[in-house]
Amino acid sequence: MAEHDNDQPLLVADHLGKDYGRLTACRDVSFALYPGEVLAIVGESGSGKTTLLQLLSAQLGPSAGKVSYRMRDGVLRDLAALGEAERRLLFRTDWGYVHQDPAQGLRMAVSAGANVGERLMAVGWNHYGRIRDTASSWLERVEIDIGRIDDAPRTYSGGMRQRLQIARNLVTEPRLVFMDEPTGGLDVSVQARLLDLLRNLVSELGLAAIVVTHDLAVARLLSHRVMVMKGGRVIETGLTDQVLDDPREPYTQLLVSSILPA
């Protein structure tokens, strides 16, 4: 990617907020995400991080502020002003969304190959042989045995399902991937493998990503920058190792000091 492309933000959040009646889920969030940059949003349950991810990915409409995204033609557009068709196209091509529960991001009853191939067909691929070849190469990349390509993900283990979900998301070469607790609910050894895989894919593909996690180790391993949320607000933000090694806010110090040493 040319250097000048990286000087322009890919996604911009501008005083973003969301209320549910009198309850404020998320308030006054502003930041810019650049191409190839991985941002972690950390905080405990109820801190507003999942609401924020849904606002950023246009699955929820904001009560205040706006989110803009740089489309492939280079124009920065307000997500709220996009038509439904345009938004769906973004989701099918330029964005990925990795759910904590793979069952939400996969079709559990159709084959693994079809789960990956489906995304390609949605963007107009129609040559069966090429779709299958691309699907197989992606299964290999996420370390799923090609012999399992015709099996449905409901026969897969949790770790395999999560890796399949990642392949399904990345096959259309998105520029931005949203991840909601991507390693949540997995065994520790399975987590390590998944993290390593994600880390390599993100850097090889130059992906930008926004990762919601309550696990600071995940933030450290995957992200360049971190935002700490509490009570719907961003209370601290900065370079990941800086925030984790030199936390400034009381709540961040509490989070960092609460990690159990292995």
Whole-angstrom Cα distance, residue 16 to residue 121? 34
Helix (H, G, I), strand (E, B) or coil at 33: strand
Q: Which residue has the tokens 């996969």?
A: 106
Q: What would the two tokens of residue 29 be?
A: 């969030």
Taking contact as CB under 8 A, which single stretch among the options 106-114, 145-153, 174-182, 220-228 is the one that binds another protein?
Answer: 220-228
Exactly one of 58, 122, 192, 201 binds another protein (CB under 8 A); which one? Answer: 192
> What is the residue-wise DSSP string for 142-179?
TT--GGGTTS-GGGS-HHHHHHHHHHHHHTT--SEEEE
Q: Does 206 bind another protein (CB under 8 A)?
A: no
Q: Does 37 bind another protein (CB under 8 A)?
A: yes
Applying CB under 8 A, among 64, 224, 231, 235 the residue interacting with another protein is 224
Whichever of 121 and 239 has its CB closer to another protein, that residue is 239
Could you give the string, one character per residue 89-108, with x where binding to another protein holds by CB under 8 A and - elsewhere?
--------------------
Question: Position of tokens 């006054």?
Answer: 28
User: By C-beta, is 157 or 200 nearer to another protein?
Assistant: 200
User: At closest approach, how far in Å is the CB of 41 from another protein?
Assistant: 15
Is residue 63 at the binding interface for another protein, with CB under 8 A as the rule?
Answer: no
Q: How far is the CB of 46 from another protein (least distance, A)?
A: 21
Q: Using the rule CB under 8 A, is 248 a contact of another protein?
A: yes
Q: d(Cα 131, Cα 24) in Å, to the nearest integer? A: 45
Single residue of 199, 201, 205, 233 touching another protein by CB under 8 A: 199
Lookup: tokens for 207: 């992906």
- The C-alpha atoms of residue 176 and residue 113 are separated, in whole angstroms, by 23
Among 128, 173, 245, 259, binds another protein (CB under 8 A): 245
Burial 24-63 (b: 16+ CB within 10 A, else e): bbbbebebebbbbbbbbbbbeeebbbbbbbbbbbbebebe
Indicate the residue among 141 and 193 with the shorter CB distance to another protein. 193
**Interface ranges with another protein (CB under 8 A):** 34, 37, 192-193, 195-196, 199, 203, 221, 224-225, 238-239, 241-242, 245-246, 248-250, 253-254, 257
